[in-house]
Structure 1
Amino acid sequence: MSADSFFDSGLRRGRLGTAHLVFFTVAASAPLTVLGGGVTTMFAVSGNTGAALGYVLLAAVLAVFATGYAAMSRHVANAGAFYAYIANGLGRAGGVAGSAVALAAYNAIQIGLYGLIGAILGEFLSAKAGLDLAWWGWALIAWVLVGLLGILRIDLNATVLAILLGLECVVVVIFDAVAFTHPAGTAVSFAGIDPGNLFTAGFGAVLAFTIASFTGFESGAIYSEEVKDPRRTVARATYIAVAFTGLFYAVSAWALTVLTGPENAAKDSAEAGPGVVFGALEQYAGTVVADLANVLFITSVLAALLSFHNGVARYLFALGRERVLPRFLGATSPRSGAPLAGSLVQSTLAVIVFLAFAMAGRDPIIDLFTWLSGAAAVGVVLLMTLTSAAVVGFFRGRPGPETLWQRMLAPVLATLLLGVVLVMLLINFDALLDPGTASYMRWLLPAIPVVAGVLGLIWGVALKSARPEAYARIGRVAEDALHEPGLHPSPEPDRDRWVRAGQR
């Protein structure tokens, strides 16, 4: 087989349906991890008894974002997702800036998860089987598994995620049932979903944690070249992911306040952490269920690792195919259709970073996971803000069946709302960090995706004069995936506003 076949085979079309994309997007946010880690930490840090409604509030904001995002997904099919959206709406150089932010954010959360899985897997197997191995040893085992799955067929990955996601959701439902049937006091308290308890002290911290919990819901467009119906599948999956995660997390967070009593949620979460969830399962559902829940807690992190790994690999594939980055990144496996080079590069980067943290003696959760997931949250919100603005630019002067709400009003509103969320996240970023973290990390970590975006913008501007043929490919639409040649060409020159701004 010739070397060119690795570049010409491309991603496999038509392998994913709406359900597959829902598995990828929801698995990325890892429901059981959100409940056991995110929700308990949110209560412990914020002390806000109405925090459960934070998920509903943010889900509403994301639903507004999804309106324009879904409308544009019917016209733009590219494994680069946000990169292609921004390129087609704000200009090619802007698209490269967006791709840099995306790579920084998604690599950060994916690599950070190796710290989390190494720590919890080591603790569980040490307690249950007497197996003692450093956290990075367990992380290496997970790394091998994720790396192998990453180069296999995408529908096989989706099947693995479906099984893991289904099982962990069952455990979350069992916890909710336990909480509502064993409330603190004599009756179920509604204080946890009282709006008056949300908009009080700690609201900013609640917003920061809920943002982190939703990271990954927006990743459906990454697989737009591999779905059966790009015009509808991405939109449907995104709406389902927003609605499901928003309600699911809100009910589970409320259930925790019912179980502990609203006045005790912060104290119990601070003292026991995930033990609030797993302890209740052991007490009321039995040891077997509790042990199964712990195993699924671990596999939920594994599912998120796999989901983000696939996303990063496809971003690298799109950038390599369009020569924004070295061409070899556009190589796919002739057998599985997976983005082979992108997958291997992501795996290599991940192992270098988490082993560097291990050699430096850093804590896998307090440092590796917390630092990188916080930086990722900033990057994802920044990406969504730019994408909403890009939707407005894309539809301006372009005829089509989209309504005024879809093409302008919702995207403008989403840009404003997400801008506010981004500011709130930056102001309250220290809530995501351990109290003992050095103060300079409060601004250094959020700066990672921002600096990446600036460097990407500079590179995008440089490409216009240094490699015009590569510049012309930026953000191109995979028209064969949309089944309608000529539906939308590469970004028009008059949309390159970021380039002109860089030349002034």
Structure 2
Amino acid sequence: MLENPMVTPPVTGDRDSRSLKGSIGVAGIVFLVIAAAAPLTAVAGSLPVMIAIGNGAGAPMAYIVAALVLLVFSVGYAAMSSSVTDTGAFYAYVTKGLGRPTGLGAAGLALLAYTTIQAAIYGLAASTLKDVVIRFGGPDLPWWLWAFVLMAIVAVLGYRSIDLGAKVLGVLLIAEIALIVALSVGVLAKGGAHGIDFVSFTPSAFFSGSPGIALMFAIGSFVGFEATAIYGEEAKNPKRTVPIATYVAVITIGVLYAVASWAVVIAFGSDNVQAAAQENTADLTFIAASQFLGGVTADIMMVMLVTSLFAALLAFHNAIARYTFALSRNGFAPRRLMNVHTRHGSPHEGSALQTATAFVLVGAFAIAGADPVLQLFTWMAGVAIVAILVLMVLTSVAIIAYFRRSKVDNRLWHTRIAPVLGTLGLVGITALVVANFTTLIGGSQVLSVIFLIAIAATFIGGWVAGRVLLSRRENADPSARPIP
């Protein structure tokens, strides 16, 4: 027995007053997704760690494996986007396939994932900005001050139309991607350290060392993938835009990461790159840029790393604001959060709430004297990766369940085979991440258990709240009872 996902409490006002407005197209949505993935952050931040403690020269293959799993998952995801156009995205899909209580549990996971990853990025962005300012002769100010400056800028852009945010991200991403491509071309054109080889794409290289850790970081580099559906309500033609944007985003991110990471491997040599990464983890990509493009380019890359992180902050801010908007519109969050700005067509109340939440979370770490990278970034990013993976598994199962009940799409590959394969792939990656979770958050076994319990409690709490609220509605309105 599944409850009717269309049953919601009465809401006053016209539908237009409760709908987000925008004219964002495929390119705009792809920019938002890639912005959340923060390519330069992955290449300059995550990649050296993948190489150092993961599978060394086999790191590029981890990106390909992650992209392939997400592409298969995307088949059913894109097919379902024709039936569901809701800014709640994963939450809406899980609700449609598995019922309202499970959907609310999924919404809880989404809010946890995006809130924690945004807080993590504030820590890394503030620390990086502080170093950049000092490097160029500026004052040595506390990291948290820079975090709040970034927060204020994000708040202004998040409050306004998504079209403006997409334009800002577009400019930043074009420059960011151009720099990554320039590094890749520079290394490959000069033949790297010892000539070009394809060792990185062999099974022996991929399975060397700890491929589970490499996959863990690779899949984490795709966090924000859900944005293709989150912005469906603000798209010109969601039934066409969302599927195309989904495939384009996954393929673009996968190819960009695989080629860029291969170039970094070639820059030091397949046999030497792991040792180089272990010796200079934080500066590995910058060293490659300096050697093959010049010292000025390395400095530009450091500055662009800040803009890359800023783009990710804005993308996640927008995603969280739209989740709270969707929950409010469906009657599961304070009603004022579904207000749409009369001029900008944005969920401005949800945006303001998200700014306040980020301020409190980042402020708590600042007051505690925590390290912005080793604690704020590492801990919160670890929680986010696990939460988003569990959310994606739930979404994949929901897609299977929905198409088994519904006759709206009878394509076997799109509605049966691909969703099952995608689910198996995501479950496998989730198991690897959980097995290596202690490493992901910095080595504390006790802390890893606490965080995993918090993730589980968030989902269970959302599910229980959904059951309670649904029961109250049924008692108040018998017509809202579950249907078979």
The TM-score by the shorter chain falls in which range? over 0.9
Deviation at 1:179, TM superposition (A): 1.9
SS of the aligned residue for 2:315 comes to helix
Deviations 1:9-48 (A, max 9, x none): 2344451111111001111000000000010111111143
Deviation at 1:182, TM superposition (A): 3.7
Q: Is 2:453 the partner of 1:447?
A: yes
Query: What pairs up with 1:65-104 in 2 under 5 angstroms?
Result: 65-104=73-112
Equivalent residues of 2:438, 2:444 under 8 A apart:
no
**Match for residue 23 of structure 2 among 15, 36, 40:** 15
Deviation at 1:469, TM superposition (A): 9.2
Task: Name the CA distance, whole Å, in 1 between partners of 2:346 and 2:14.
Answer: 10
Deviation at 1:139, TM superposition (A): 0.5
**Match for residue 198 of structure 1 among 180, 192, 206:** 206
Query: What pairs up with 1:289-300 in 2 under 5 angstroms?
Result: 289-300=297-308
Equivalent residues of 2:403, 2:409 under 8 A apart:
no
Deviation at 1:326, TM superposition (A): 1.3
Task: Name the CA distance, whole Å, in 2 between partners of 1:7 and 1:113.
Answer: 35
**Match for residue 63 of structure 1 among 64, 71, 82:** 71
Q: Give the residue type in structure 1 aligned to 2:285.
A: V
CA 1:274–1:472 in structure 2 vs 1: closer, same or farther (change >3 Å)? farther
Equivalent residues of 1:323, 1:470 under 8 A apart:
no
Deviation larger for 270-279 or 234-243: 270-279
Task: Name the CA distance, whole Å, in 1 between partners of 2:291 and 2:77.
Answer: 44
Equivalent residues of 2:109, 2:459 under 8 A apart:
yes
Query: What pairs up with 1:16-415 in 2 under 5 angstroms?
Result: 16-415=24-423
Normalised TM-score (structure 1): 0.90
Q: Give the residue type in structure 2 aligned to 1:457.
A: W
Q: Percent identity?
A: 38
Equivalent residues of 2:88, 2:326 under 8 A apart:
yes
CA 1:355–1:471 in structure 2 vs 1: closer, same or farther (change >3 Å)? farther
Deviations 1:284-338 (A, max 9, x none): 3233322221111100000000000000000000101111111111122111011
Equivalent residues of 1:333, 1:340 under 8 A apart:
yes
CA 1:303–1:181 in structure 2 vs 1: closer, same or farther (change >3 Å)? same
Other-structure match for 1:493? 483
Equivalent residues of 2:474, 2:481 under 8 A apart:
no
* Alignment gaps of 5+ in structure 1: 474-489, 495-504
SS of the aligned residue for 1:214 comes to coil
Task: Name the CA distance, whole Å, in 2 between partners of 1:66 and 1:226.
Answer: 20
Deviations 1:136-177 (A, max 9, x none): 000010000001100111101000111111100011011112
CA 1:292–1:492 in structure 2 vs 1: closer, same or farther (change >3 Å)? farther
SS of the aligned residue for 2:445 comes to coil
Equivalent residues of 2:46, 2:217 under 8 A apart:
yes
CA 1:334–1:397 in structure 2 vs 1: closer, same or farther (change >3 Å)? same
Task: Name the CA distance, whole Å, in 1 between partners of 2:151 and 2:319.
Answer: 16
Task: Name the CA distance, whole Å, in 2 between partners of 1:147 and 1:6.
Answer: 27
Other-structure match for 1:421? 429
Deviation at 1:127, TM superposition (A): 1.3
Equivalent residues of 1:12, 1:337 under 8 A apart:
yes
Deviation at 1:8, TM superposition (A): 6.1
Other-structure match for 2:464? 458
Q: Give the residue type in structure 2 aligned to 1:212.
A: G
Deviation at 1:7, TM superposition (A): 9.2
Equivalent residues of 1:117, 1:302 under 8 A apart:
yes
Deviations 1:458-502 (A, max 9, x none): 0000011223499999xxxxxxxxxxxxxxxx99733xxxxxxxx
CA 1:397–1:357 in structure 2 vs 1: closer, same or farther (change >3 Å)? closer
Normalised TM-score (structure 2): 0.93
Equivalent residues of 1:208, 1:431 under 8 A apart:
no
Deviation larger for 288-297 or 102-111: 288-297
Equivalent residues of 1:220, 1:238 under 8 A apart:
yes
SS of the aligned residue for 2:141 comes to coil
Task: Name the CA distance, whole Å, in 2 between partners of 1:343 and 1:195.
Answer: 45
Deviations 1:182-239 (A, max 9, x none): 4454411222222211113311111111111111122211111111111111111110
Q: Is 2:457 the partner of 1:467?
A: no
SS of the aligned residue for 2:406 comes to coil
CA 1:395–1:247 in structure 2 vs 1: closer, same or farther (change >3 Å)? same
Other-structure match for 2:6? none
Deviation larger for 440-449 or 121-130: 440-449
Equivalent residues of 1:5, 1:334 under 8 A apart:
no
Q: Give the residue type in structure 2 aligned to 1:403.
A: R
* Alignment gaps of 5+ in structure 2: 1-11
Equivalent residues of 2:20, 2:340 under 8 A apart:
no
Task: Name the CA distance, whole Å, in 1 between partners of 2:478 and 2:28.
Answer: 32
Equivalent residues of 1:320, 1:329 under 8 A apart:
yes
SS of the aligned residue for 2:56 comes to coil
CA 1:139–1:185 in structure 2 vs 1: closer, same or farther (change >3 Å)? closer
SS of the aligned residue for 1:367 comes to helix
Task: Name the CA distance, whole Å, in 1 between partners of 2:318 and 2:471.
Answer: 32
Q: Give the residue type in structure 1 aligned to 2:208.
A: T
RMSD of aligned Cα (Å): 2.1
Q: Give the residue type in structure 1 aligned to 2:466.
A: G
CA 1:105–1:43 in structure 2 vs 1: closer, same or farther (change >3 Å)? same
